[in-house]
Amino acid sequence: MFSKILIANRGEIALRVIRACKELGVQSVAVHSTADANAMHVRMADEAICIGPPASAASYLSFPAIISACTITGAEAVHPGYGFLAENAEFAQILEDHGITFIGPSAEHVRMMGDKITAKKTMLELGVPCVPGHEGGVDSANEAAAVAAEIGFPVIVKATGGGGGRGMRIAHSPEQIDSAYSTARSEALAAFGNDEVYIEKYIERPRHVEVQIIGDGKGKAVHLGERDCSLQRRHQKILEEAPGPSITPEMREDIGSRCAAAAAGIGYSGAGTIEFVFSDGEFYFIEMNTRLQVEHPVTEAVFSVDIVREQIRVAAGLPLSFSQSDLAIRGHAIEVRINAESLPDFRPCPGRVTAFHAPGGPGIRMDTPIYMGYEIPPWYDSMIGKVIVHASDRNSALAKLSQALDELIIDGIDHTVPLFQELVTNPDIKSGSYDVTWLERWLLGRFQ
Ligand code: ADP
């Protein structure tokens, strides 16, 4: 096992990793920008080091700053959390070259899955069902029109290097393909510095269902069932649950074992998520995330496992601490992401937290870096915490979520708790019958 790990992140996920390090008896090093000098992860880690000014490009995304911090503190491994450098193959490679362990898959696997065209090809070869489409990039508006006609409308134009719901445009008819193609391309260039796009069938009103896998890097892998993340705004998840309300044990076993076999087949190391759109009982692969996900706690709750601990163990060369037959689902878990945002337009609302009280009681977990008096900086993602509930069944989990949200107090800033308080009473949410377009439609009606 490592003796010291540096966490190249901030916010709730930095705290999450520090907690796992403490339980494993591993020293933890926090890094922070000058804007985060008073952040909770800085206080909670065994050591902390300032790595630059507020702008992420000069701090949390700076290879030299992070590698220097490893050298100065003697950290042997880096946990990247999610976001920032978590899916940066070059970063994983440079760490490797410096003899520092990247807590995640190999640079090769990060690169393979970071390019969505290569990821899709690889998954198809490994027996994972994919969205029908064109295998390869599309280089001109004319080619886009031809490919779209061949696939059949509606289609979705997607950035090869995409993430965070950006660089994606739907075309419902031939008239829309030109603008979908050029908008997706320019958005992709601005967001990812790579304007390569591809086209696939747009599956109408699907659910988003994703499978959690963990591989030991030596050809063994297990799956930890699925999460349903269909409540989305602008293709970004805001509520996640496990197990998926529309997934039967047979479906879980089938897709889960295919995903585990695919991960084992490439010798995948660490935690990963294989994402699908799900419609009419069929799964269609859309992408693989080669990192810890924001929503990992719902899986931890229903399987009674610690995914971060497992990531660290595998990176240290230890075997998986469970096999597939040890894993069974117990109950139902739901997570909501709390953002410092003002409704109805979800405008970021940084500022000082003047009062804070976290919900408690059996089956309630809140992962958050905020505290009373904390000044939420304007520089970073607006997510300020997650409330996760676990109960014997879905209805009880929703009741628990409702009570946890009522108990939660965050004063001084606007946030999205009132939105969830309203959503938990909605009949469609209660019955679990919603798809990825549901929330946008509901918001239109609610805030018109
Ligand atoms: P990102 O990497 O930006 O998160 P994804 O490929 O994971 O992009 O897709 C994000 C969301 O976009 C999905 O959860 C789904 O709602 C929608 N989406 C993506 N591809 C399709 C598709 N082929 N058909 C329908 N919806 C899709």
Summarize the confidence of residues 8-13 as an average pLDDT: 98
Whether 335 shows a pLDDT value over 80: the answer reads yes
Beta strands in 46-182 (DSSP E): 47-52, 77-79, 101-102, 155-159, 168-171
Residue 241 near residue 430, CB atoms below 8 Å: no
* 23-74 pLDDT, tens digit each: 999 999 999 999 999 999 999 999 999 999 999 999 999 999 999 999 999 9
Give me the amino acid identity at 37: A
In angstroms, what CA-CA distances link 176 with 77, 155, 404, 425?
48, 10, 44, 37
Q: For ligand 1, what atom is nearest to the CA of residue 437?
A: 16
Residues belonging to the active site:
291
Q: What per-residue confidence (pLDDT) applies to 231?
A: 98
Q: Residue 101: beta bridge partners?
A: 77
Whether 418 shows a pLDDT value over 80: the answer reads yes
Cα distance from N-terminal residue to C-terminal residue, the chain: 55
Ligand 1 centroid to residue 165 C-alpha, Å: 7
* 225-265 pLDDT, tens digit each: 999 999 999 999 999 999 999 999 999 999 999 999 999 99
Q: For ligand 1, what atom is nearest to the CA of residue 133?
A: 23
Task: State the helix-helix crossing angle for 63-73 and 89-97, rounded to 10 degrees.
Answer: 30
Q: What per-residue confidence (pLDDT) applies to 447?
A: 87
More reliable by pLDDT, 161 or 78:
78
Q: What per-residue confidence (pLDDT) applies to 441?
A: 97
Q: Residue 207: beta bridge partners?
A: 278
* 175-198 pLDDT, tens digit each: 999 999 999 999 999 988 899 999
Q: Are strands 375-376 and 168-171 parallel, antiparallel or unpaired?
A: unpaired
Ligand 1 centroid to residue 239 C-alpha, Å: 16
Confidence of residue 115 (pLDDT cuts 50, 70, 90): very high
Nearest to 85 by CA among 315, 384, 295, 291: 291
Percent of the chain exceeding pLDDT 90 equals 96
Residue among 277, 278, 283, 439 to mutate when testing ligand 1 (max atoms within 8 A of CB): 277
How far is Cα 195 from Cα 161, in angstroms, rounded to an integer? 8
Q: What per-residue confidence (pLDDT) applies to 124?
A: 94
Q: What is the DSSP string of 67-106?
A: HHHHHHHT--EEE--SSTTTT-HHHHHHHHHTT-EESSS-
User: What residue has token string 């929330």?
Assistant: 439
Q: For ligand 1, what atom is nearest to the CA of residue 201?
A: 23
How far is Cα 294 from Cα 388, in angstroms, rounded to an integer? 11
Confidence of residue 165 (pLDDT cuts 50, 70, 90): confident
Average pLDDT for the chain: 97
| Ramachandran assignment for 81, one of left (phi > 0), alpha (psi -120 to 50 degrees), beta (any other) | left
Q: Whose C-alpha lies nearest to ligand 1, atom 11?
A: 235
User: What residue has token string 């709730």?
Assistant: 12
Ligand 1 centroid to residue 236 C-alpha, Å: 9
Q: Which residues line ligand 1 (CB under 6 A)?
A: 131, 156, 162-165, 168, 200-203, 206, 208, 232, 235, 275, 277, 286-287, 436
* 193-224 pLDDT, tens digit each: 899 999 999 999 999 999 999 999 999 999 99
In angstroms, what CA-CA distances link 266 with 123, 167, 217?
10, 28, 9
Whether 448 shows a pLDDT value over 80: the answer reads no
Residue 350 near residue 413, CB atoms below 8 Å: yes
Tokens for 191, please give them: 């967001």
* 361-417 pLDDT, tens digit each: 999 999 999 999 999 999 999 999 999 999 999 999 999 999 999 999 999 999 999
Whether 122 shows a pLDDT value over 90: the answer reads yes
Ligand 1 centroid to residue 109 C-alpha, Å: 21
